[in-house]
Chains A and B, each alone.
Chain A
């Protein structure tokens, strides 16, 4: 056995055993036939390609084991579920920014208060809300590479936020959003690889995304229109924002997830596994909130959503004499 063959055999060990036993010798033959005269090391591209195949085979590429196929099914659900949740979170941010502007103008505010930073915030939130939604529909419709690239955007954004304010990120519920971004990005890359099933025909995914987004926007716009403000401090008579918070980030979510997982137990382990993985990012909020509760300072999930920079009176520079009366 020459050194090249030994090295190829070593690399082929990356492949799952069952696949290697079935196809290993044939692949080795092809690799050796394609080797140049005097070549003693495998080419980098071959190593990368075999490593990628090894990963794809473990998440359900053709020729994979039953367990690997099931793993791919779980990852695709985690990816789509994570992208859906991220879309809802960023849509909430976006709606709060936009409705904050509407609110300001409706309550006698000046256009001058809507500064460049605020507009930039709206643009960034809009862009980040569109990225996971785009990745979601790209993955559903078989545009897997587009889906993988778009799923990277929210992950890159949370990384940038972390780089800008690491102490805040670690000490706040933003950590859950960060973990969710990484989880769904990894699940999209692993689950929607090029050998994955091309198009997901299940219409319930589309229905869930469109229905949940429409409900979220309808709640917020409806609240603004009928109750006068999305901000409790402005509405005076209502704490709509807190009701919305209860609605969107309420215990209803985990309860529904657990109920759905239990309902699917008899069919397969796919949904319980996917929902268990999707629930993990939220556990990042537990230690912080346990400490706060023990200190008697029970906190909200994503509290900064409500003390947002979107509201000009929250920064002293933007305060005007009339703002104190509006705040009542």
Chain B
């Protein structure tokens, strides 16, 4: 159970990376249109 905190941190890092990826993708699409 002590790993839960580590897992929370990892999940947040993954989600932050996913958000940056999605935002960059969206801005590319806006510029392309």
Given contacts A245-B1, A275-B15, contact A254 B25 (CB under 8 A): no
Residue from A255, A265, A289 within 8 A of B11 (CB atoms): A255
Interface of A (DSSP majority class): helix
Contacts A254-B7, A283-B9 given; does A268 touch B26 at CB 8 Å: yes
0 or 1 for each of A223-265: is its CB under 8 Å from B? (1 = yes): 0000000000000000000000110011100110110011011
Determine whether the beta carbon of B18 is less than 8 Å from that of A272.
yes
In the complex, how many angstroms separate the beta carbon of B6 from the nearest chain A beta carbon?
Answer: 8
Q: How far is the CB of A207 from chain B (nearest CB, A)?
A: 23
Known: A254-B7, A255-B7, A261-B14. A269 touches B19 (CB 8 A): yes
- A301-B23 contact in complex given A254-B11, A262-B14, C-beta closer than 8 Å: no
Contacts of B9 in A (CB 8 A): 283, 286
Question: Are B14's CB and A289's CB within 8 A?
Answer: no
Residues of A within 8 A of B11 (CB): 254-255, 257-258, 279
Instruction: List the A residue with the shortest CB-CB distance to B11.
Output: A254
Residues on the A chain within 8 Å of B21, using CB: 265, 272
Query: Is there contact, CB below 8 Å, between B15 and A276?
Result: yes
Contact (A272, B8) CB under 8 Å given A289-B2, A298-B1, A299-B2 = no
CB of A188 closer than 8 Å to a CB of B: no
Q: Are A249 and B4 in contact (CB under 8 A)?
A: yes
Contact residues in A for B7 (Cβ distance below 8 Å): 251, 254-255
Which secondary structure dominates chain B's binding surface?
Answer: helix
Q: Beta-carbon contacts of A150-194 to B below 8 Å, as 1s and 0s?
A: 000000000000000000000000000000000000000000000
Q: How far is the CA of A187 from the CA of B18 in the complex (A)?
A: 21
CB distance from A286 to the nearest CB of B (A): 5
Known: A254-B10, A279-B12. A285 touches B18 (CB 8 A): no
In the complex, B3 has a CB within 8 A of chain A: yes
Tell me the A274-319 residues at the B interface (CB within 8 Å): 275-276, 279-280, 282-283, 285-286, 289-290, 293, 298-301
- Give chain A interface residues in 96-126, CB to chain B under 8 Å: none
- In the complex, the answer to whether A283 meets B12 with C-beta atoms within 8 Å is yes
Which residues of chain A are within 8 angstroms of B12 by Cβ–Cβ distance? 254, 276, 279-280, 283
In the assembled complex, the CB of A92 is this many whole angstroms from the nearest CB of chain B, namely 16
Q: Are A273 and B8 in touch, CB under 8 angstroms?
A: no
Q: Name A64-92 residues within 8 Å CB distance of B.
A: none
Give the interface centre of B1, B10, B23, B26 by most chain A CB atoms within 10 Å: B1
Cα of A328 to Cα of B17 in the assembled complex, Å:
49
Asked if A266 is at the interface (CB within 8 A of a chain B CB), the reply is yes
Q: Which B positions have Cβ atoms within 8 angstroms of A?
A: 1-5, 7-12, 14-16, 18-19, 21-23, 25-26
The 3 nearest A-B residue pairs measured at CB: A254-B11, A269-B22, A251-B7
